Chains A and B, each alone.
Chain A
Amino acid sequence: MTLGRSVALVGGTTIPWGVRAATWAELAQEVGAALFRRVPSLRAEEVDSFFLGAAEPERFAFQSHVAPFAAEQMGLAPRRIIQRTELACASGQSAIRSAYAAIASGLADVAVAAGVEKMNLPSMPEANTSMACVLDRAWDGAHGGTAPPFFAMVAQRYLAEHHAPPEALTAVAEKNHAFANTNPHAQFYAKKFDRAKLDRLPLVSPPLRLGDCSSMTDGAAAVLLVAGELAGRYTDTPAWIRGSGQYSDFHNLAHAGSLTDWTGLTRAARAAYDMAGVGPEGIDVAEVHDCFSISEIVEYEALGFCGRGEGARYVLDGRSGRGGDVLVNPRGGLLGCGHPLGATGIAQAVEVFDQLAGRVPPERRASDPRWALVHNLSGSANVHSVMIYEGGTAG
């Protein structure tokens, strides 16, 4: 199924992620500068629309009205559409989806979708409070509910229901950290984590240890999306957006239902697969939301890469690594790159763009990929967002 005009992702960039000596505004300036370096043929006045993924700038940077704030930092003056997209951990992918819809409909021709998040504050308890209000603050957050204990309960139920080996959690973290060692912008680029080291890290929310949890990260990323007929102006190797699906299931934790069968993801993926005309068996490389090691395991299943209860075996057998069925999280995942909420989905799209063009280091390169999938969950896995890209040539 085609929706309106075809839309191409024609360039993108990240900046160094981690605990950065930089303000929110400076992260935006850096990513603007990096985008124009990365796409030398782009002139600022060509950008008619701007979509900014930013999850919690009010809490982390005490700044509202952030779309024009970021546009000014990045040297953009959008004249057709300017907006912020907020969907917690999936805010970045939301920016891309909104840009896609705007271009496909003809309301925009040349759009920048960016993500900026500053998360490391002088007061970490205050930062943790901000993370807790992603959940139903008064009824779940007030008990001390945040993402780690929620996903720890997912892990507890998964291991119990499927009699799965806990080593599978460590295997996800080990794989993604090893990939992050090939990505100079990753928060943990310079840190080696083998299985033994990961198993010695402290428990955060049992059974999850520190290495099973993505970090608080300062970071930004940006991509350039254009109407298909303009793609050749900017690149010879566009990534074409072919499919998009979302599903929002619930919000209060009382309505989570099964913690291990993410039916919302199955539905979002089905919508995206159907729109793209490809199935899980056709996907060559996938950037999925490993906010916690257990998330990636449940996602293999809900995305259809393997059957229900087979996710632990899937990673232990190397089927999500190089030379496996689907190369999963070659950029290093959220575990290895860190998770600056609004920037994550944009950085995943940058990786897909570079993978489809064969422009990543050989240690993490998919072999001759055609189809790529990006998945983000948000909150307590209550919302799922999926996009499918196809490699190809311009024009």
Chain B
Amino acid sequence: MSDSGSAPAAERPKARAAPEGSTAPARPAPPPRPMVPLPYLLDFFPLQEADQTGIARFFARLREGRLSTTRCSRDDLLHWPPRVACPKCHGTELTWVDLPERGRIYASSAVLAGAPLGMEADVPFAVGLVDLDGVPLRLFGRIVGRRWEALAIGLPVRVEGFELADGRVFYRFRAEPEPGPPGG
């Protein structure tokens, strides 16, 4: 079984210094942040720092092992992915809520060929749509823990956060290991 979901194991490049002899006006140095291992426009994962996105809290919570999202209390609406404005009432006063960590597979398949750049080493890997328990949310993601052949509609999974090679975080689903051979 491949431990899919792992990010490309590239070295973390150093932050680029200003070119020598630069005449640009002095500006405060940006806060240090993890650099992506691929050129930015070939990198899939969301930028996660507070100076890059309005939903940095999602990634901070994920780092603590909590999957969360925004909710609009006016519409009693859970968003996915987390947002800065409600698509229904267009209000911007949203609250953060934790999501259930358990769910069941609604549909699943696998990538056996044709993986994008940086994911070739993960092949074969399983993906699926998962209905989270008790909330009206069906999330797409990788499913690890079992071979793709042993996944099925209705199989329980739980969500987990994990760290990418460059220090960012992301999430995936994990299925219980396959039962061993009978009597074994």
Contact = CB atoms under 8 A, between A and B. Distances in A.
A149 B44 contact: no
Contacts of A160: 153
Contacts of B128: 153
A139 B46 contact: yes
A261 to B, nearest CB: 14
Interface in B17-52: 42, 44-46
Contacts, number: 113
A204 B114 contact: yes
Contact of A145 (B113, B122, B127): B127
B112 A144 contact: no
Nearest to A129: B116
B112 A157 contact: no
Nearest to A154: B107
A129 B128 CA distance: 19
Given A252-B81, A254-B80, A123 B44 contact: no
Contact of B107 (A137, A148, A157, A203): A157
- Chain B CB within 10 A, most for which of A131, A149, A160: A149
Nearest to B114: A128
Contacts of A81: none
A395 B119 CA distance: 57
Interface stretch (B60-68, B90-98, B133-141, B175-183): B133-141
A156 B116 contact: no
A143 B141 contact: yes
Q: How large is the interface on B (under 10, 10 to 19, 20 to 34, 35 or more residues)?
A: 35 or more
A202 interface: yes
Nearest to A255: B80
- Chain B CB within 10 A, most for which of A131, A202, A204: A204
Contacts of A137: 44
B115 A144 contact: yes
Interface in A78-131: 123-126, 128-129, 131
A142 B44 contact: yes
A138 B111 contact: no
B116 A128 contact: yes
B157 interface: no
Contacts of A152: 109-110
B113 A138 contact: no
Given A125-B120, A206-B109, A252-B81, A142 B115 contact: no
Nearest to A140: B140
B116 A144 contact: yes
A256 interface: yes
B129 interface: yes
Given A156-B108, A254-B80, A142 B114 contact: no
A125 B44 CA distance: 13
Contacts of B141: 143
B125 A138 contact: no
B172 interface: yes
Interface string A235-253: 0000000000000000011
Given A129-B117, A206-B109, 16 more contacts: A141-B44, A142-B170, A143-B172, A144-B4, A148-B109, A152-B109, A153-B129, A154-B107, A156-B108, A156-B153, A157-B153, A205-B110, A253-B129, A253-B140, A254-B81, A254-B139
6 contacts: A128-B115, A137-B44, A153-B107, A153-B109, A252-B81, A256-B138
Interface of B: 4, 42, 44-46, 80-81, 106-120, 122, 125, 127-129, 137-142, 148, 153, 170, 172
- 6 tightest A-B CB contacts, nearest first: A152-B109, A153-B107, A142-B44, A138-B46, A129-B116, A125-B117
